């Protein structure tokens, strides 16, 4: 079986967010980059677990980005990926990115495509569905459990008020959410092996982006905290009613 895991480079959650060029570009100065956690902790690790159960399984990685994405790709290879592809393009348009991933997936004839449920910087949750449509594969989103029996997958995902379990024949695209797997840390053997694993760079296929960024903006600054003495209930009620609008 061949698995393709989509990997995205995102800022560390502790990074200070700022914008440049009249708020049209993200300021990357001093930013620490990481693998998008949903891609790493859930999608990639579950793919590696499937490989550990079946030694014939091949796990490939794909990312769309510049050369500055290669350190996070090497980390993903250190976790257990066999080979990686980097499409040499810089775009924030979901359709454009999904088209590049779908092109790689078509060439590789993969049985299973994993994505994280979303990236922590854009929270768009759109790539998986677009890739599935472009490949004409079924799509299961927000999966918290994934089991494989031959060529049939049993997938569980959380829904409003409970869980939903679906069965689907491969090939399929699945977006992974919390619960799919447990976080792993690369060991020294994996880190050393990742240095020599193939990382192939290709130029993007011709696709017209459907969206563009007009501006970014930071959320409003949080108001200061007001402390109310425990015995002053009237003042607390007034603040909740007049300022917080909670009553």
Q: Are strands 152-159 and 139-149 parallel, antiparallel or unpaired?
A: antiparallel
Q: Provide the 8-state DSSP code for 38.
A: I
* Type and span of the H or E element at 25: strand 25-26
CB atoms < 10 A from the CB of 13, how many? 10
Angle between helical axes of 127-135 and 94-108 (0-180°, round to 10): 50
Show me where the domains of the chain are located: 2-219
Q: What is the model's pLDDT at position 134?
A: 97
Q: What is the model's pLDDT at position 223?
A: 72
- What values do phi and psi take at 49, rounded to 5? -60, -40
- Can you say how many angstroms the Cα of residue 213 is from the centroid of all Cα atoms in its chain? 20
| Three-state secondary-structure class, residue 155 | strand
Q: What is the model's pLDDT at position 186?
A: 86
What residue has token string 């967010």? Answer: 17
- The CATH number that domain 2-219 falls under is 3.40.50.620
CB atoms < 10 A from the CB of 214, how many? 8
Q: What is the model's pLDDT at position 13?
A: 84
**Cα 170 to Cα 130, 140, 150, 151, distances in angstroms:** 17, 12, 9, 5
Give the pTM. Answer: 0.85
Q: What is the model's pLDDT at position 218?
A: 83
User: What does pLDDT average to in each consecutive run of 10 residues of the chain (247 residues)?
Assistant: 95 87 86 92 96 95 94 94 95 94 96 94 91 97 95 93 94 95 89 92 95 86 81 88 79
CA-nearest of 174, 135, 134 to 157 is: 174
């Amino acid at each position: 079986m061949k698995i393709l895991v989509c990997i995205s480079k995102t800022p560390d959650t502790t990074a200070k967010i700022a914008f440049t060029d009249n708020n049209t570009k993200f300021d990357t100065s001093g930013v620490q980059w990481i693998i998008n956690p949903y891609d790493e902790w859930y999608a990639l690790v579950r793919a590696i677990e499937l490989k550990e159960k079946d030694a014939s399984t091949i796990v490939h990685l794909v990312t769309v980005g510049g050369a500055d994405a290669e350190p996070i790709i090497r980390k993903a290879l250190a976790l257990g990926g066999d080979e990686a592809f980097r499409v040499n393009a810089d775009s924030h348009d979901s359709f454009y990115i999904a088209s590049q991933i779908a092109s790689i997936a078509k060439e590789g004839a993969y049985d299973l495509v994993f994505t994280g449920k979303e990236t922590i910087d854009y929270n768009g949750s759109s790539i998986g569905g677009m890739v599935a449509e472009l490949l004409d594969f079924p799509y299961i989103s927000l999966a918290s459990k994934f089991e494989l029996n031959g060529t049939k997958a049993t997938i569980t995902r959380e829904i409003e008020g409970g869980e939903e379990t679906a069965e689907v024949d491969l090939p399929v695209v699945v977006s992974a959410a919390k619960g799919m797997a447990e976080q792993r840390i690369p060991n020294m053997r994996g880190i050393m092996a990742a240095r020599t694993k193939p990382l192939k760079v290709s130029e993007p296929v011709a696709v017209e982006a459907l969206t563009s960024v007009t501006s970014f903006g930071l959320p409003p600054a949080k108001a200061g905290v007001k402390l109310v003495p425990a015995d002053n209930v009237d003042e607390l009620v007034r603040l909740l009613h007049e300022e917080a609008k909670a009553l």
